[in-house]
């Protein structure tokens, strides 16, 4: 039996408790002081950008961010780092650009773990008759390399998949999967929205063709920034055209990198924040961040696992992401109670990954906790105690109903 609780938010004053923010898989908060300073500094002087001004004041934040991201992700060619609005924008550009070079309808693979930023562009292309799409299953949060190998056919040209699940926190074996796809000549796009800034990544050592990142999650920048790394630019056609500040006499868009995929004025303030966020992560140490996340995530799961009224959907996530449900309470109600009664911010619902939820909770959705390097041990303990209290109260309600 599942109860829906009805509240009137206007009649419930927000509690006088410290805010605990556990929705970092959506957008990280707080931001490092260095990021806030970079934003202010970037706005204090005229925008500097090669080819677009005679001014020499200020910092070239586009180049600074490109070099920092390239170094952080372990690439050898900074010019192959392309900046976009976000990970979704990157995925749309890459998918559409790759398919533009296919003369015939081709077969494309993705997974049931993936986010709508992957699923929706692919389904739109399938709806338009450009591709035949196969969505591969997962077991215990993992898509087996063998499953992918068995799904390959001569007309399979593209695979797009997540690096880390935003619902289950599970990492995929990109090394093994990429090797299989590489051997079969399949173009491989990896969505790293949930992994960049959380785990060590060296793209030069991974057998992939494109890697997508976003600025406002683990890299601790602000929204409106993201991008992708593209190993071989010749395999993807540009799908956006406009001013670049270079070769302006030509009415065709430049094909040199990175201009080939960047049109219009950059988000200079956003890229200043991204450069500062990446530097912060580098100085703190990605291994330190990863180890802290594993310790805190494990501690929360161990605490919640003591309550039989709580279903944890992955007891061993690789990323600081915990999805759960409380028997007898809808996930939206759990989130509402945590926010109003405990001042704990989480995420509820389908998390833009509907196929995962069809498997783990019948499509109802879950409550998700997601940590950042700023999450403290005390916040983890407080959050776990609050969730246990909500679950115990729900349990009492069920037994008295």
pLDDT in tens, 307-364: 999 999 999 999 999 999 999 999 999 999 999 999 999 999 999 999 999 999 999 9
Reading across the β-sheet that carries 156-162, which strands appear in turn? 81-84, 226-230, 210-214, 187-191, 156-162, 106-111, 131-136
Weakest-pLDDT range from 25-29, 246-250, 394-398: 394-398
pLDDT digits (tens, 9 = 90+) for 128-147: 999 999 999 999 999 999 99
CA distance readout (Å), 373 to 100, 291, 293:
40, 10, 7
Average pLDDT of the chain to the nearest whole number: 93
Does any domain span residue 9? no
> What is the average pLDDT across 373-387?
98
On whether the CB atoms of residues 135 and 355 are closer than 8 A, the answer is yes
Does any domain span residue 6? no
Reported as a pLDDT band with limits 50, 70 and 90, residue 280 is: very high
**224 and 75, same structural domain?**
yes
> What is the average pLDDT across 104-113?
97
Does any domain span residue 99? yes
Q: Which of 225, 252, 284 is at the close of a domain? A: 284
**125 and 25, same structural domain?**
no
Q: Which of 257, 284, 311 is at the close of a domain? A: 284
- Rounded Cα distance between 193 and 321, Å, is 13
- Rounded Cα distance between 191 and 193, Å, is 6
Cβ contacts of residue 35 below 8 Å, gap of 6+? 220, 221, 222, 273, 276, 277, 280
Residue 246 sits in a domain whose CATH number is: 3.40.640.10
- Rounded Cα distance between 116 and 355, Å, is 9
**294 and 252, same structural domain?**
no
> What is the average pLDDT across 257-272?
94
| pLDDT value of residue 349 | 98
Does any domain span residue 264? yes
| pLDDT value of residue 394 | 84
pLDDT digits (tens, 9 = 90+) for 28-53: 999 999 999 999 999 998 877 665 55
Weakest-pLDDT range from 169-178, 250-259, 322-331: 250-259
| pLDDT value of residue 397 | 62
Region for residue 351 given its phi and psi (left: phi exceeds 0; alpha: psi -120 to 50; beta: otherwise): left
Q: Strand pairing of 310-312 and 321-326?
A: antiparallel
- Rounded Cα distance between 239 and 259, Å, is 12
3-state secondary structure 331-360: HHHHHHHHHHHHCEECEEECCCCHHHHHHH
| pLDDT value of residue 57 | 62
Does any domain span residue 94? yes
> What is the average pLDDT across 108-136?
98
**251 and 112, same structural domain?**
yes
pLDDT at 170 over 90: yes
- Rounded Cα distance between 69 and 74, Å, is 8
**275 and 358, same structural domain?**
no
Q: Strand pairing of 321-326 and 131-136?
A: unpaired
Q: Which domain holds residue 290?
A: 17-31+285-400
On whether the CB atoms of residues 306 and 387 are closer than 8 A, the answer is no
| pLDDT value of residue 47 | 77
**93 and 240, same structural domain?**
yes
Q: Would you state the structure tokens that stand for residue 266, as one six-digit string?
A: 């950059």
DSSP letters for 76-99: S-GGGEEEESSHHHHHHHHHHHHH
Does any domain span residue 2? no
**301 and 173, same structural domain?**
no
Q: What is the dihedral of CA 105, 110, 115, 119, to 10 degrees?
A: 20
Tell me the percentage of the chain whose pLDDT exceeds 70.
Answer: 92
**299 and 155, same structural domain?**
no
On whether the CB atoms of residues 177 and 189 are closer than 8 A, the answer is no
Q: Which of 259, 284, 309 is at the close of a domain? A: 284
Of 152, 140, 150, 149, the C-alpha closest to 112 is 140
Domain count, the chain: 2
Dihedral pair phi/psi, residue 337, rounded to 5°? -65, -45
> What is the average pLDDT across 284-290?
98
Reported as a pLDDT band with limits 50, 70 and 90, residue 7 is: very low
Does any domain span residue 10? no
- Rounded Cα distance between 294 and 81, Å, is 29
**240 and 192, same structural domain?**
yes
pLDDT digits (tens, 9 = 90+) for 191-237: 999 999 999 999 999 999 999 999 999 999 999 999 999 999 999 99
Residue 301 sits in a domain whose CATH number is: 3.90.1150.10
Cβ contacts of residue 395 below 8 Å, gap of 6+? 307, 309, 327, 328
**258 and 294, same structural domain?**
no
On whether the CB atoms of residues 61 and 357 are closer than 8 A, the answer is no
Q: Would you state the structure tokens that stand for residue 70, as one six-digit string?
A: 């390239």
**257 and 311, same structural domain?**
no
Q: Would you state the structure tokens that stand for residue 4, as one six-digit string?
A: 């829906």
Q: What is the dihedral of CA 347, 92, 190, 298, to 10 degrees?
A: 0
**341 and 248, same structural domain?**
no
Does any domain span residue 97? yes
CA distance readout (Å), 374 to 30, 50, 347, 378:
7, 36, 18, 11
């Amino acid at each position: 039996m599942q109860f829906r609780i009805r509240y009137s938010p206007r009649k419930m004053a927000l509690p006088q408790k410290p805010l605990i923010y556990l929705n970092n898989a959506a957008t990280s908060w707080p931001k490092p002081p260095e990021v806030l300073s970079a934003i202010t500094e970037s706005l204090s002087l005229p925008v500097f950008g090669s080819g677009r001004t005679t001014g020499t004041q200020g910092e070239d934040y586009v180049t600074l961010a490109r070099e920092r991201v390239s170094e952080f992700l372990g690439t050898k060619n900074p010019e192959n780092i392309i900046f976009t609005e976000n990970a979704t924008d990157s995925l749309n550009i890459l998918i559409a650009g790759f398919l533009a070079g296919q003369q015939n309808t081709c077969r494309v693979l993705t997974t049931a773990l993936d986010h709508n930023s992957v699923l929706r562009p692919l389904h739109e292309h399938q709806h338009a008759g450009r591709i035949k799409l196969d969505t591969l299953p997962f077991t215990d949060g993992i898509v087996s390399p063998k499953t992918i190998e068995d799904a390959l056919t001569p007309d399979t040209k593209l695979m797009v998949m997540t690096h880390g699940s935003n619902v289950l926190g599970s990492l995929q074996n990109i090394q093994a999967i990429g090797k299989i796809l590489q051997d079969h000549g399949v173009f491989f796009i990896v969505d790293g929205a949930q992994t960049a800034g959380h785990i060590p990544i060296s793209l030069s050592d991974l057998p992939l063709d494109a890697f997508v990142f976003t600025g406002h999650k683990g890299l601790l920048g602000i929204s409106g920034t993201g991008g992708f790394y593209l190993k071989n630019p010749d395999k993807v056609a540009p799908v956006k055209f406009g001013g670049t500040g270079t070769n302006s006499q030509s009415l065709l868009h430049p094909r040199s990198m990175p201009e080939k995929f960047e049109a219009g004025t950059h988000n200079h303030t956003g890229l200043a924040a991204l450069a500062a966020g990446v530097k912060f992560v580098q100085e703190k140490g990605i291994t330190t961040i990863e180890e802290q996340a594993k310790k805190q995530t494990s501690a929360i799961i161990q605490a919640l696992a003591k309550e039989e009224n709580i279903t944890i959907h992955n007891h061993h996530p690789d990323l600081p992401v915990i999805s759960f449900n409380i028997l007898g309470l809808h996930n939206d109600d759990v989130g509402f109670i945590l926010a109003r009664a405990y001042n704990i911010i989480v995420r509820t619902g389908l998390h833009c990954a509907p196929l995962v939820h069809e498997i783990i909770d019948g499509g109802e959705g879950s409550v998700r906790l997601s940590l950042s390097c700023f999450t403290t041990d005390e916040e983890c303990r407080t959050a776990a105690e609050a969730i246990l209290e909500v679950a115990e109260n729900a349990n009492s309600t069920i037994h008295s109903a």
